[in-house]
């Protein structure tokens, strides 16, 4: 492109024409592929890099892309392999909506730098993925039962979205002795079907014919579609009305109210429409008295009471009834109805309570008497026979027991539970045996009194509560609420902390619980470095008689906070003073100048101390190990280096937020400094020591001599005494010893990597570090009291067991003054 811009005008036109011609020739070449439709996503189509003669690397470099023309992008190019793959399933019927045998998807593969276009045509081949479908799923035909055989009826044909052999091939009709089909082929190859009547129809035998028409295509395997054909046979009046029986007998009670339905006649006519519409009427054989007392509905055939019926006057009535259809040539049917009058059951049963308890306790025994009732009826015969039943007896804890004639006892049949049901509405139903039977209901309300039979229940059997140290005294920790399903005083709960002592401290001095609602509070501020966890029980007790209770275990876990600043214990210096170190100028590269040691009383990440140089006079002269605090020379001193160097070291823990401490070290260089090793005698130049140092050495020698004499005397006295008997530790004291040991072990187990617990181990490490530099250790730094101080920068291989041994052999208890 740059050449075209700088060239003369004529040259630019020639270059542009040449470029366009090259692109046009490239675009004219067409690559064709054929794939079946409905291929899965990611399916391989072709390798464009191989087919188009392209380098696979150029697909990425030249930003190859696929441009689909007038269609959705169904394909994608894998630029790492040059493969053309399916991006989304292709449905041929969606792309080519017209039923053509050929269906193409046109696209361009475009490469940049320089631009090059490849034309690709992808032929989508049809598969048999569409079943034939009828335009109408249900086809209804109305055919008269008088239609002669051989009559033809056109049916809706099926369509298939597929083409060629996959389109509709033939039709099948479900089995029928009355119909078959005739298949015809149109000029375009479409299949059409007609329905042909084979035999005479009889609507009364078969009013509706349900047929299934199936269209099958020519695919492999073939697919099919179905449609339902419903043929309604039209009626002609060729059947007379019929009653279900020639004589009907019905009973009617005396004093039946006007409008009472005696019975409904329902004659049937096998015809339909007006040929089956019936009119009911009395014939001349029915007496006028009967027609005065009973009415007959001409349309429904319903017989009703019209006048007053008296059993003592007439005990039965005879009716002659005709049913006639509405056909052009009406046909009729006849029947006789006998009406018998029965005596009326006009008295209701009576239920009377003789004895009743309105309330019982839920702990009453099975068989307890609740009530005594009687039942009677003033009618006679079966109308006066009374049966007393208990409604829903199968779900009630009660039963009725007949004690004597007409008397019943209501008893408790199952244990009662007020917490499930506290009140019962017991319905007693008295029914006589009259026709129709009469009944009377009596409701007895029984209250169930509560007893204290449920202990309080906590939602959990074990509570674990996390408390961050330095909490505010009186802070709410959690709410331990229990539930008691009893009532009144039986459900009023009181909460207690079950007393338990930890290191002579009662739990009630550490925690408090609201006796009314179970809110648990902390009474003191907890220190993770002293207390790690508490385990105790809380009891919930109700106010019943006798009271019931339950308890739950509470596990309080104290979480650590970064609340302790690292303390620099080596090199020792007075508060706010600068540490001075002297080294020879002839020191080699890698010489240990000093070792910074800091301790942090926190645990885990909060106690992990690292060291950084906050300020240094010469960055090229010294290096600091961020993990062990060792300051070493990175090169030898030159005559240009100042004789004094100033370093500011910061010790920072790994808490959030991090806490830190700093120490300033002033390093002076001299021409000659006395050197010695740990395993050789110390050649002391007397001019090095001041008078004070001399006095200290003399005093230390005297004290060591006296200590040696004392130890020898004690050993002699021990050897002369008899061996003491083994002391038996009482179980209580033994548990105390075990508990204390477990606390010590627990604190020791929290030491992080690269840390060492115990101030004695610190002194041993400090002793080695100071003697390596040829100095006498006579300092006594102030170490904070308490166990568990973390001394950083001790090698990982030194464990607590090694520290204990070293302490016994190297360090003494009390103030320490060590000599190399």
What CA–CA distance (Å, rounded) separates 668 from 587? 12
The structural architecture, per CATH, of the domain 457-559 is: Sandwich (2.60)
What CA–CA distance (Å, rounded) separates 173 from 219? 20
What CA–CA distance (Å, rounded) separates 533 from 502? 11
Structure tokens at 16: 């542009």
Residues contacting 63, CB < 8 A, separation 6+: 111, 112, 113
Measuring CA to CA, how many Å separate 398 from each of 352, 357, 415, 456, 800?
A: 18, 13, 10, 29, 75
What is the CATH number that goes with domain 350-442?
2.60.40.60
What CATH homologous superfamily does 31-124 map to? Cadherins (2.60.40.60)
What CA–CA distance (Å, rounded) separates 732 from 776? 49
Ordered by start, the domain boundaries in the chain are 31-124, 133-234, 242-342, 350-442, 457-559, 567-670
What CA–CA distance (Å, rounded) separates 261 from 294? 9
Neighbours of 480 (CB within 10 A): 21
Q: 170-179 — which CB contacts under 8 Å span 24+ positions?
A: 170/215, 170/216, 171/213, 171/214, 171/215, 171/216, 172/213, 172/214, 172/216, 173/211, 173/212, 173/213, 173/214, 174/211, 174/212, 174/213, 174/214, 176/209, 176/211, 178/206, 178/209, 179/209, 179/211, 179/231
What CA–CA distance (Å, rounded) separates 151 from 143? 10
Nearest alpha-carbon partner for 160 in 104, 88, 222, 229? 222
Say what the pLDDT of residue 54 is.
83
Say what the pLDDT of residue 692 is.
52
Structure tokens at 794: 């001790």
- Strand-pair partners of 118: 109
**Structural element, H or E, at residue 307:** none
What CA–CA distance (Å, rounded) separates 388 from 373? 10
What CA–CA distance (Å, rounded) separates 610 from 654? 8
Say what the pLDDT of residue 776 is.
37
CB-count exposure of residue 286 (10 Å: 0-12, 13-18, 19+): buried
What is the CATH number that goes with domain 133-234?
2.60.40.60
**Residue carrying the six token digits 């099919």:** 224
Q: Measured in whole angstroms, how far is the alpha carbon of residue 152 from the centre of its chain?
A: 64
Q: Measured in whole angstroms, how far is the alpha carbon of residue 632 from the centre of its chain?
A: 58
Say what the pLDDT of residue 722 is.
53
Which segments of 638-758 does DSSP mark as H helices, in order? 691-720, 731-748
Helix (H, G, I), strand (E, B) or coil at 311: coil
Do domains 457-559 and 567-670 share one topology? The answer is yes
pLDDT digits (tens, 9 = 90+) for 659-716: 888 888 888 888 865 544 333 333 434 444 445 567 678 888 888 888 888 898 888 8
Say what the pLDDT of residue 691 is.
54
Say what the pLDDT of residue 587 is.
86
In this prediction, the residues of the chain whose per-residue pLDDT falls under 70 are 1-29, 312, 502-503, 574-576, 672-693, 695, 720-820
Q: Is the bond leading into 114 cis (omega within 30 degrees of zero)?
A: yes
Structure tokens at 158: 């099926």
Q: Measured in whole angstroms, how far is the alpha carbon of residue 34 from the centre of its chain?
A: 48
Residue 259 — left, alpha, or beta (φ > 0 → left; ψ -120 to 50 → alpha)?
left
Say what the pLDDT of residue 370 is.
92
**DSSP state letters, 573-641:** --TTPPEEEEEETTPPTT-EEEE-EEEESS-GGGG--EEEEEEES-TTTEEE-TTT-EEEESS---TTS
**Residue carrying the six token digits 């003491």:** 724
For strands 579-584 and 610-616, give the pairing: unpaired
Say what the pLDDT of residue 673 is.
56
CB-count exposure of residue 265 (10 Å: 0-12, 13-18, 19+): buried
Say what the pLDDT of residue 535 is.
92
**DSSP state letters, 729-745:** PPHHHHHHHHHHHHHHH
What is the CATH number that goes with domain 242-342?
2.60.40.60
Is the alpha carbon torsion for 296, 300, 303, 305 positive or negative?
A: negative
Helix (H, G, I), strand (E, B) or coil at 278: strand
Neighbours of 745 (CB within 10 A): 10
Is the alpha carbon torsion for 561, 566, 567, 570 positive or negative?
A: positive
Say what the pLDDT of residue 239 is.
85
What CATH homologous superfamily does 567-670 map to? Cadherins (2.60.40.60)
What does pTM read for this prediction? 0.41
Helix (H, G, I), strand (E, B) or coil at 140: strand
């Amino acid at each position: 492109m740059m050449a075209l811009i700088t060239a003369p005008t004529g040259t630019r036109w020639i270059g542009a024409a040449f470029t366009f011609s090259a692109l046009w020739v490239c675009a004219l070449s067409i690559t064709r592929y054929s794939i079946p439709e409905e291929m899965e996503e990611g399916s391989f189509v072709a390798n464009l890099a191989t087919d188009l003669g392209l380098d696979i690397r150029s697909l990425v470099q030249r930003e190859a892309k696929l441009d689909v023309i007038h269609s959705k992008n169904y394909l994608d190019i894998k630029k790492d392999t040059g493969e053309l793959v399916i991006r989304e399933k292709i449905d041929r019927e969606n792309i080519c909506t017209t039923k053509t045998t050929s269906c193409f998807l046109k696209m361009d593969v475009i490469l940049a730098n320089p631009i090059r276009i490849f034309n690709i045509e992808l032929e989508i081949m049809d598969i048999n993925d569409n079943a034939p479908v009828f335009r109408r799923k249900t086809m209804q035909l109305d055919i008269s039962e008088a239609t002669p055989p051989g009559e033809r009826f056109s049916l809706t044909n099926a369509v298939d979205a597929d083409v060629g052999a996959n389109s509709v091939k033939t039709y099948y009709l479900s089995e029928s002795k009355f119909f078959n089909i005739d298949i015809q082929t149109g000029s375009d190859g479409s299949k059409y079907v007609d329905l042909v009547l084979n035999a005479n129809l009889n609507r009364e035998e078969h009013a509706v014919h349900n047929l299934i028409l199936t269209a099958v295509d020519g695919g492999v395997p073939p697919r099919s579609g179905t449609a339902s054909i419903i043929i309604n046979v039209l009626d002609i009046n060729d059947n007379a009305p019929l009653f279900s029986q020639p004589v009907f007998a019905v009973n009617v009670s005396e004093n039946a109210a006007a409008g009472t339905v005696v019975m409904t006649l329902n004659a049937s006519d096998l015809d339909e429409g007006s040929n089956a519409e019936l009119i009911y009427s009395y014939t001349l054989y029915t007496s006028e008295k009967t027609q005065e007392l009973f009415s007959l509905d001409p349309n429904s055939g319903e017989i009703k009471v019209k006048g007053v019926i008296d059993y003592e006057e007439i005990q039965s009535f005879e009716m002659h009834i005709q049913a006639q259809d509405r056909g052009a040539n009406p046909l009729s049917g006849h029947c006789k109805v006998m009406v018998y009058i029965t005596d009326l059951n006009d008295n209701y049963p009576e239920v009377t309570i003789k004895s009743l308890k309105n309330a019982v306790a839920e702990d009453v025994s099975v068989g307890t008497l609740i009530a005594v009732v009687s039942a009677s009826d003033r009618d006679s015969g079966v109308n006066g026979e009374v049966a007393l039943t208990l409604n829903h007896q199968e779900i009630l804890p009660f039963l009725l027991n007949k004690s004597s004639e007409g008397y019943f006892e209501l008893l408790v049949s199952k244990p009662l539970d007020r917490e499930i049901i506290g009140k019962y509405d017991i319905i007693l139903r008295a029914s006589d045996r009259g026709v129709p039977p009469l009944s009377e209901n009596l409701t007895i309300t029984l209250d169930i009194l509560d007893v204290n039979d449920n202990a309080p229940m906590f939602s959990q059997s074990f509570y674990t509560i996390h408390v961050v140290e330095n909490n505010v005294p009186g802070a709410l920790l959690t709410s331990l609420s229990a539930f008691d399903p009893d009532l009144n005083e039986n459900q009023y709960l009181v909460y207690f902390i079950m007393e338990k002592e930890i290191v002579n401290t009662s739990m009630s001095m550490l925690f408090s619980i609201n006796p009314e609602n179970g809110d648990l509070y902390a009474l003191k501020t907890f220190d993770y470095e002293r207390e790690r966890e508490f385990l105790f029980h809380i009891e919930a007790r109700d106010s019943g008689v006798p009271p019931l209770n339950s308890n739950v275990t509470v596990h309080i876990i104290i979480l650590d906070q970064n609340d302790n600043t690292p303390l620099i214990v080596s090199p020792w210096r007075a508060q706010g003073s600068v540490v001075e170190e002297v080294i020879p100028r002839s020191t080699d590269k890698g010489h240990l100048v000093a070792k910074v040691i800091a301790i942090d009383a926190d645990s885990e990440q909060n106690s992990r101390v690292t060291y950084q140089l906050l300020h240094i006079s010469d960055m090229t002269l010294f290096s600091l190990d961020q993990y062990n605090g060792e300051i070493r020379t990175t090169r030898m001193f030159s005559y240009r280096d100042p004789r004094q160097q100033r370093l500011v070291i910061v010790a920072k823990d790994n808490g959030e937020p991090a806490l830190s401490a700093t120490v300033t070290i002033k390093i002076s260089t001299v021409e000659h400094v006395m050197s010695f090793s740990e395993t050789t005698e110390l050649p002391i130049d007397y001019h090095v020591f001041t008078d004070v140092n001399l006095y200290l050495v003399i005093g230390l020698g005297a004290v060591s001599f006296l200590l040696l004499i004392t130890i020898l005397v004690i050993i002699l006295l021990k050897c002369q005494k008899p061996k003491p008997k083994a002391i038996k530790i009482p179980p209580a004291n033994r548990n105390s010893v075990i508990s204390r040991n477990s606390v010590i072990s627990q604190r020791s187990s929290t030491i992080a990597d690269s840390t060492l617990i115990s101030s004695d181990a610190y002194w041993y490490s400090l002793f080695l570090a100071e003697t390596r530099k040829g100095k006498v250790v006579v300092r006594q730094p102030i170490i904070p009291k308490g166990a568990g101080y973390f001394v950083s920068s001790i090698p990982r291989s030194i464990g607590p067991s090694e520290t204990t041994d070293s302490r016994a052999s190297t360090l003494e208890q009390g103030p320490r003054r060590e000599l190399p």
